[in-house]
Amino acid sequence: AEHNPLYHEMPVLDYLNFSASIQGIGKAAIPGRVRQMVRLCGLDVEKHKKIGELSKGFRQRVGLAQAMIHDPEILILDEPTTGLDPNQIVEIRDLIKNIGKEKTVILSTHILPEVEATCDRILIINKGKIVADGTATSLRKQAQGQQVLHVRIEDGELNAIYEKLSSLPTVSIVDILDNEAQRFEIQSTPETTSNRDVFKLCVKNKWALTEMIPLETRLEDIFRDLTIQ
């Protein structure tokens, strides 16, 4: 959960033992199961501390250990990295991915970079309906987007380069990003790519194409396209 309902006065080991017992785990099996959760969730150094003395990142680890103590087939997490610092976020993401190797983990979050860093399947829900389902790569391919390139072209006059780029049949919009460095943003027409045409244009005019970077469609843009209607 976004804020784990933990007993802050209890030491970590006592809390996990208590959680195991109320989940109906047999008394003989509890110590081994607790050791397994401590190891999996990286709690060995902190296991004798009271939960209230832990950082928020370690409290999240305790919450994950408690949620898995009874070996569920599915683990549902809601905003598990909210309020964590950047290092803690990376640690919790890695832990979730590690858990995901053996369990089905459902992650509910509005932080889309976290989705991309953690999940191998993404569902976008709008007004109670699933409007997209796939990997980050497949969602980008399905998105009705246009290819965007950042290019740097030298050995030519800025306005001439701009006009000729704009006249290419596969180019819909050209923006000048940096006059001095002669860097442009090129948006292709739908369902086309303009890499080859830009390269040919530079060769034809003896311009130096010193940079060409295709920009990936961001998950944020895909999400907005699917949910803003």
Average predicted confidence (pLDDT) for the chain? 91
Does residue 225 register a pLDDT over 60?
yes
The predicted structure's pLDDT at residue 41:
93
172-198 mean pLDDT: 90
Query: At 197, phi and psi to the nearest 5?
Result: -65, -40
Distance, CA of 161 to CA of 184 (rounded, Å)? 9
156-160 mean pLDDT: 95
The CATH number of 142-221 is which of 3.40.190.10, 3.40.50.740, 1.20.1260.10, 3.30.70.100? 3.30.70.100
| Burial (Cβ within 10 Å: 0-12, 13-18, ≥19) of residue 203 | exposed
pLDDT in tens, 76-118: 999 888 888 888 889 899 999 999 998 999 999 988 888 988 9
Greater model confidence, 137 or 56: 56
pLDDT in tens, 1-17: 456 789 999 999 999 99
**CATH assignment of 12-119?**
3.40.50.300
| Domain layout of the chain by residue ranges | 12-119, 142-221
| pLDDT interval class at 204 (50, 70, 90) | very high
162-189 mean pLDDT: 93
The predicted structure's pLDDT at residue 2:
53
Which alpha helices (H) appear in 144-218, and where do they start and end? 158-166, 195-205
146-150 mean pLDDT: 84
Nearest 5°: the CA angle 49, 51, 52 is 110
Longest C-alpha distance within the chain, in Å?
Answer: 80
The predicted structure's pLDDT at residue 181:
94
Distance, CA of 68 to CA of 79 (rounded, Å)? 17
Distance, CA of 80 to CA of 16 (rounded, Å)? 19
Does residue 42 register a pLDDT over 80?
yes
Phi-psi region of 123 (alpha: psi -120 to 50; beta: other; left: phi over 0): beta
The predicted structure's pLDDT at residue 144:
56
| pLDDT interval class at 187 (50, 70, 90) | confident
Which alpha helices (H) appear in the chain, and where do they start and end? 12-22, 30-40, 56-68, 86-100, 112-118, 136-142, 158-166, 195-205, 219-227
| Contact between 76 and 99 (Cβ < 8 Å) | no
The predicted structure's pLDDT at residue 229:
64
Greater model confidence, 53 or 227: 53
The predicted structure's pLDDT at residue 48:
97
Hunting for tokens 């290419």 — which residue is that? 168
The predicted structure's pLDDT at residue 3:
64
The predicted structure's pLDDT at residue 221:
77
| Contact between 217 and 203 (Cβ < 8 Å) | no
Hunting for tokens 């109906």 — which residue is that? 24
